Every structure is written in structure tokens, then in C-alpha cells.
């Protein structure tokens, strides 16, 4: 019976993720993955089955780490709107640190593969649905507590927040001005809560 590969699975997924994230799926070769992970091609195939299967595992790994962080903020012991704002504050911090402008791996995957690999694209879209569900529960809580107008459809708001997250990440790739990004977050949350800030004048 063959011995199981002896390596740190999380380390391998982290290293492979960085390559796919920077280069995209199609531009990444097995040679790139071998160089990044330190595994020989035979070990890579034995452990993951090939590039496509490894990419599926990478998407799952990326999704789990991101959803865990979002869930941590949304389950905090603060008000619903504060919890949602904390998700966006964490997002802004990430955008400021993303000097390579990699953006979101899930969004990148959909843009690259939607016309050529429906299964992988659907996998990434399903991950958006998971984030949407996390927001939906907190929005409903915010409506019960009177922080979010009950007349607003909670599912539409949840989708709006998911769209805003990915829109901000795309926007930040070409514009890292902190004041601009914070203004986008303020407008996003004002729309959700129905608040209106006074217009800024020069």
C-alpha cells in the first residue's frame, strides 16, 4: 500500500493559491505549481489529481478562510450595523495591503472561466451565495432592532453588500486612496440603513 504524502497540506494550498491568484488559472502551469509548493510533479498529482483538481481545492481553501473572517465579524457582540461595518473595515485594510492588486480570487475566477469552465465558475458563484447568506441573517436582525428599515428587502440588501465588496476590491486595484475607499463604504452602509450624510463641499 503506498505511503501518504508527507507535507503540510495548508502550506501547499497557500503557495498554490498565491500562484493562481497572481497569474490566473490558464496562465499557471504545473511547473509553476511545482516551483511554488516544493512538491515534485508525481507528488502533486498523487495528492491532488492534477491542476484542475488542485485549483478546486484552492478555491475551497480561499473561501473557507474568507468566510471564517466574515463570520467572525458578523458573530461579534455588537450591533448588527457595526458588525457589517467591521466586515467592510477589514476589507479596506486588505485593499490597502494588496499592493499587487490581486483583487478577489473568486471574482477573478468567474471573469476568467465563466465562458470556458462552467463547473469552476459555478463553484465560485456558490461561494458568493454563502457570503450572501451570512449577511442576510445579520440584516434581518438589524431590521428587528430598528437599525435597518424593515421596508427594504433583506435578500436584496445582502446581495447589494456582496456586490459592493467585490466592486470595492476591483476599484481598489487602480485606486488605493484611503479616503475614496472609506467614502464608498460610507455610501454603501448609508444606503442599507437609509441614512443620508450631508453633501461635502470643497
Low-confidence ranges of the chain (pLDDT < 70): 1-7, 175-176, 195-202
How confident is the model at residue 1, as a pLDDT? 39
pLDDT at residue 170 in the model: 79
CA angle (130 as vertex; 111, 113 as ends), nearest 5: 15
At residue 125, the pLDDT reads 78
Q: Is 171 exposed, middle or buried (0-12, 13-18, 19+ CB in 10 A)?
A: middle
Question: Helices then strands (H, E): number in the chain?
Answer: 9, 0
Q: Which residue has the cell 478562510?
A: 65
The kind and range of the H/E element at 147 are none
For 130, the grid coordinates are 454563502
pLDDT digits (tens, 9 = 90+) for 157-192: 999 999 998 888 877 777 667 888 889 899 999 999
Q: Give the global pTM.
A: 0.81
Question: What CA–CA distance (Å, rounded) separates 54 from 45?
Answer: 9
State residue 191's pLDDT score: 93
What whole-number distance in Å separates Cα of residue 165 and Cα of residue 2? 45
Residue whose C-alpha is closest to residue 187's, from 95, 103, 88, 104 = 88
Q: Are 169 and 95 in contact (CB under 8 A)?
A: yes
101 sits in the region (left: phi over 0; alpha: psi -120 to 50; else beta) called left
Amino acid at each position: 500500500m503506498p505511503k501518504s504524502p508527507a507535507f503540510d497540506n495548508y502550506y501547499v494550498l497557500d503557495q498554490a493559491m498565491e500562484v493562481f491568484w497572481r497569474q490566473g488559472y490558464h496562465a499557471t502551469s504545473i511547473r509553476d505549481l511545482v516551483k511554488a509548493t516544493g512538491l515534485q510533479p508525481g507528488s502533486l498529482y498523487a495528492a491532488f489529481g492534477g491542476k484542475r483538481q488542485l485549483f478546486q481545492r484552492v478555491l475551497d481553501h480561499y473561501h473557507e478562510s474568507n468566510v471564517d473572517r466574515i463570520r467572525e465579524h458578523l458573530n461579534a457582540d455588537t450591533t448588527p450595523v457595526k458588525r457589517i461595518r467591521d466586515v467592510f473595515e477589514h476589507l479596506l485594510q486588505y485593499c490597502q495591503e494588496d499592493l499587487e492588486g490581486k483583487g478577489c480570487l473568486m471574482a477573478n475566477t468567474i471573469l476568467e472561466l465563466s465562458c470556458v469552465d462552467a463547473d469552476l465558475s459555478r463553484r465560485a458563484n456558490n461561494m458568493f451565495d454563502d457570503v450572501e447568506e451570512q449577511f442576510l441573517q445579520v440584516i434581518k436582525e438589524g431590521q428587528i432592532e430598528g437599525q435597518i428599515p424593515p421596508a427594504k428587502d433583506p435578500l436584496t440588501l445582502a446581495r447589494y453588500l456582496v456586490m459592493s465588496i467585490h466592486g470595492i476590491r476591483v476599484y481598489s486595484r487602480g485606486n488605493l486612496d484611503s479616503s475614496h475607499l472609506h467614502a464608498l463604504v460610507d455610501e454603501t452602509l448609508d444606503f442599507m440603513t437609509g441614512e443620508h450624510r450631508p453633501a461635502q463641499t470643497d
